Amino acid sequence: MADLTFISSGEVADEEALDAYSRAVIGVAERLAPSVANLRVSRRVRGGRVVSGGGSGVIVTPDGFMLTSAHVVAGSDGARASFVDGREVDVKVVGTDPLSDLAVLRADGVDLAPAELGDAEGLRVGQLVVAIGNPNGFAHSVTAGVVSALGRSLPVRSRAAGRIVENVIQTDAALNPGNSGGALADGRGRVIGINTAVAGIGLGLAVPINATTRKIIGALMSEGRFRRSYLGIAGGSRPLPPRLARELERAECVEVVDVVEGSPAARAGLRPEDLILDLNGQSVEGVDDLQRLMAGELIGERVRLTTVRDGAVRQLELVPVELDV
């Protein structure tokens, strides 16, 4: 048998052994690990028993403001957060918004390491993302993958209302129970989503960090809640009929599917099958546009809806009320 000769140039330097992908993931993990907390949440249930749960949170200010998922802290009467440096601190709930599945907490600590918030609007399918959280109780776990789809919808509910979170990020980075509330970051270590749900084997969803969710986060920090206007309709995005599309030089609108009896929409005369084109002159081409425009500032204010019924463009006026969550 012929002798085998192994050729080696000696020890391989770390930077040579790691490819670009590995270096990117390591860089994100090292940058974000101090900002991601392991949350232990307790809830008191019937009979006085205390049930514990877990999740993740992301520090976003040096004085301890933290983002997580609303469902992680729903019904909680206390929480503790632990960090990679060994610190363990008490956490209180500042505000929750079940209809975006976001919550803001305040950690009892100083000199905490805040993560940088990015903007999910610039994401592209196939882009590298890194998830950091505490799946199944395994603290500070890191997984990586890509953005596998954009523009997904996530149904959420509060006790009194339901809503669709639009433009949710879908990723194949492994997510498991306990990842909820943790960070989904881009290749530069900026948090572009808060992990919220496992959609199936190999699929995870994250609420995006964008202009809309930044408004929600700011309101939760300052007021403890996010106020929304309420029209009283169920609607869906749909293409405009071809003639109207040509005349209006646009393709999409929102069709009214149902109108809640006694609601502002019902009092204004809105009917199922009406098509909504704009609100106060701002274009409505999808359900997410309408949800974005229904801000708290419109509560009690007279607003104008441009609609289409039986092929004719009409104007309606109505006064939104506050959505009860």
Would you name the residues annotated as active-site residues?
71, 101, 180
How distant, in Å, are the alpha carbons of 130, 247, 279 from that of 242?
43, 9, 22
- Do 125 and 147 form a contact (C-beta atoms < 8 A)? yes
How distant, in Å, are the alpha carbons of 40, 45, 67, 110, 219 from that of 114?
20, 34, 11, 11, 19
Our separate counts of H helices and E strands in the chain read 7, 20
Residue of 91, 95, 183, 90 lying closest to 134 (CA atoms): 183
221 by Cβ neighbours in 10 Å (0-12 / 13-18 / 19+) ranks as middle
What is the distance in angstroms between the CA of the first residue and the CA of the last residue of the chain?
A: 79
